[in-house]
C-alpha cells in the first residue's frame, strides 16, 4: 500500500496515475471538499483529513509500505503562518504518524528552490550544494521547504524513518493549476513578455516524468538516504517554451522582452505594495517568478539518471498535451 499526500495536486496526481498503471494499491490523504474525480477514476482509496488532523494521519498510514509526501503550501504568496502550519508542522505530523506505523520508506518531495535564489551564467548545481542561499525576504515557500527537508533528514539520521528526497524544478503537465493558465492567458491577449533575452535554458519537467523519478527513488535500495534533483527533460529555453505554447494556441509568437533586473525590481515593488495593502491574491509578478523564468542557473540531474531515470514525455509531446488539457477543462 502506498500513501500519497497532495494527491489532488499536479505532481501528486501523476504519482497516483503512475502507481495505478503499475497495479499498486494506493491511498490518498485528501481534504474534504477537494475535487477527487481524477483519483476516483483510478480507484484510489481516500482518507479525508489534512496534515494537521492527527487522527486522519494515523488512519492513513495504517498498513502503508511507502509514503509519497507531496503536500505543501505552494506558491510565492501568503502569510508565514500558512507555510508553517502546512509545510513544516504538517511534515512533522506525517513523520510522527509514519514512524509510529512502521512505514518502510518515506519519499519527501522537496524543491530545487531549497538551494536558494542562486544565479549566474554557467552555474550548475548538484545535490551537494548548500541549501537556503540568498533567499529573499518573504521567500516563505522556499524557507518552509528548506526547514521541512532538513527535518526529514534529522528523522532519517536519528533512524526514526527511512527517507529519500526528490527535488523537482518547474513542473508542467495536465492538472497544472499553478502556471499554465496564467501563461496561456497572457499569450492569448498578447500581454506576455519574455524576461531577459529568452535564451536562458529552463530546468523544466513534465510532471509524469518526475512522478516516475519519485517512484524510482522510493523503491530503489541504493536511493535510501539520498537526495535527487529531478528536473530537465531536455534542452528548452524560456523563449522556446513560451512560443511552443503560442504555437499550440495558434497565437502570435511572443517577442516582447523586459530586462531581467527591471523585472526583478518591478516584482519587488509589487511585493512591497501587496504586503503594505494586505493583498490576499499574489501580485502579477514577484521576484520568485522572475527568478524562475529568467535565471541562468541549471540543476544537474546526472545523479537520478544514474539511478535509471529517463524522461518518458518530451517537450514536443508534453507542451501541446498540457495546453490542450487546459483548454478542454476550461471550456
pLDDT at 59: 98
* Residue 331: per-residue pLDDT: 80
Please state, as a whole number, how many other Cβ atoms lie within 10 Å of the Cβ of residue 92: 15
The pTM of this model reads 0.94
pLDDT tens for 281-307 read: 888 888 888 888 899 999 999 999 999
Distance of alpha carbon 241 from alpha carbon 245, whole angstroms: 6
Residue 57's alpha-carbon distances to 15, 85, 86, 96, in angstroms, are 19, 15, 13, 9
Mean pLDDT, rounded, for 158-171: 97
Q: Can you say whether the dihedral through the CA atoms of 263, 194, 179, 303 is positive or negative?
A: negative
The pLDDT assigned to 177 comes to 87
Nearest CA to 230 out of 154, 281, 166 is that of: 166
Which has the closest alpha carbon to 131: 119, 142, 120? 142
Q: What is the largest CA-CA distance in the chain?
A: 56
pLDDT at 325: 96
Nearest to 319 by CA among 166, 179, 141, 157: 179
The span from the CA of 72 to the CA of 95, in Å, is 14
3-state secondary structure the chain: CEEEECCCCHHHHHHHHHHHHCCCCEEEEECCCCCCHHHHHHCCEEEECCCCCHHHHHHHCCCCCEEEECCCCCCCCCCHHHHHHHHHHHHHHHHHHHHHHCCCEEEEECCHHHHECCCCCCCEECCCCCCCECCCCCCHHHHHHHHHHHHHHHHHHCCCCCEEEEEECEEECCCCCCCHHHHHHHHHCCCCCEECCCCCECCEEEHHHHHHHHHHHHHCHHHCCCEEEECCCCCCEHHHHHHHHHHHHCCCCCCCEECHHHHHHHHHHHHHHHHHCCCCCCCCCCHHHHHHHHCCCEECCHHHHHCCCCCCCCHHHHHHHHHHHHHHHCC
| Segment 211-236 mean pLDDT | 97
Rounded to an integer, the average pLDDT of 5-20 is 97
Mean pLDDT of the chain: 95
pLDDT digits (tens, 9 = 90+) for 92-129: 999 999 999 999 999 999 999 999 988 888 899 999 99
**Region 207-230: what's the mean pLDDT?**
98
Region 45-51 average pLDDT: 97
Q: Give the pLDDT confidence score for residue 114 in this predicted structure.
A: 96
Cell of 287: 521576484
Site of grid cell 478542454:
328
Tell me what pLDDT residue 173 has.
Answer: 97
pLDDT at 282: 82
Model pLDDT, residue 77: 81
Residue 278, pLDDT > 90, answer no
259 conformational bin, left if phi > 0, alpha if psi -120 to 50, beta if neither:
beta
Asked if residue 195 lies in contact with residue 290, where contact means CB atoms within 8 angstroms, the answer is: yes
Write the CB contacts of 78 (distance below 8 Å, at least 6 apart in sequence). 140
Work out the angle at residue 6's Cα, subtended by the Cα atoms of residues 96 and 8, and round it to the nearest 5 degrees.
150
Which domains does the chain possess? 2-329 (3.40.50.720)
User: Grid coordinates 518526475 are at which residue?
Assistant: 210
Grid cell listed for 142: 522556499
Amino acid at each position: 500500500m502506498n500513501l500519497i499526500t497532495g494527491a489532488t495536486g499536479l505532481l501528486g496526481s501523476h504519482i497516483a496515475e503512475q502507481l495505478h498503471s503499475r497495479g499498486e494499491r494506493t491511498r490518498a490523504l485528501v481534504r474534504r471538499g477537494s475535487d477527487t474525480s481524477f483519483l476516483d477514476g483510478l480507484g484510489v482509496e481516500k482518507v479525508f483529513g489534512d496534515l494537521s488532523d492527527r487522527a486522519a494521519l494515523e488512519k492513513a498510514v495504517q498498513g502503508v509500505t511507502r509514503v509519497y509526501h507531496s503536500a505543501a503550501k505552494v506558491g510565492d504568496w501568503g502569510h508565514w503562518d500558512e507555510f508553517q502550519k502546512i509545510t513544516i508542522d504538517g511534515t512533522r505530523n506525517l513523520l510522527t504518524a509514519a514512524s509510529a506505523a512502521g512505514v518502510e520508506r518515506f519519499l519527501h518531495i522537496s524543491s530545487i528552490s531549497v538551494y536558494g535564489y542562486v544565479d549566474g551564467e554557467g552555474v550548475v548545481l548538484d545535490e551537494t550544494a548548500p541549501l537556503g542561499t540568498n533567499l529573499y525576504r518573504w521567500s516563505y515557500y522556499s524557507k518552509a521547504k528548506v526547514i521541512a527537508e532538513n527535518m526529514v533528514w534529522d528523522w532519517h539520521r536519528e533512524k526514526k524513518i527511512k527517507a529519500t528526497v526528490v527535488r523537482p524544478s518547474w513542473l508542467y503537465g495536465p492538472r497544472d493549476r499553478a502556471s499554465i493558465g496564467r501563461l496561456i492567458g497572457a499569450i492569448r491577449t498578447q500581454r506576455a513578455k519574455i524576461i531577459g533575452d529568452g535564451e536562458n535554458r529552463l530546468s523544466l519537467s513534465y510532471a509524469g516524468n518526475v512522478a516516475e523519478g519519485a517512484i524510482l527513488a522510493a523503491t530503489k535500495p541504493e536511493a535510501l538516504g539520498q537526495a535527487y534533483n529531478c528536473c530537465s527533460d531536455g534542452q528548452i529555453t524560456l523563449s522556446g517554451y513560451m512560443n511552443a505554447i503560442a504555437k499550440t494556441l495558434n497565437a502570435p509568437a511572443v517577442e516582447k522582452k523586459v530586462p531581467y533586473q527591471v523585472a526583478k525590481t518591478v516584482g519587488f515593488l509589487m511585493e512591497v505594495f501587496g504586503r503594505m495593502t494586505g493583498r490576499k491574491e499574489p501580485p502579477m509578478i514577484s521576484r520568485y517568478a522572475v527568478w524562475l523564468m529568467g535565471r541562468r542557473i541549471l540543476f544537474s540531474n546526472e545523479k537520478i539518471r544514474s539511478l535509471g531515470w529517463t524522461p518518458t514525455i518530451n517537450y514536443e509531446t508534453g507542451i501541446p498535451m498540457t495546453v490542450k488539457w487546459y483548454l478542454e477543462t476550461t471550456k
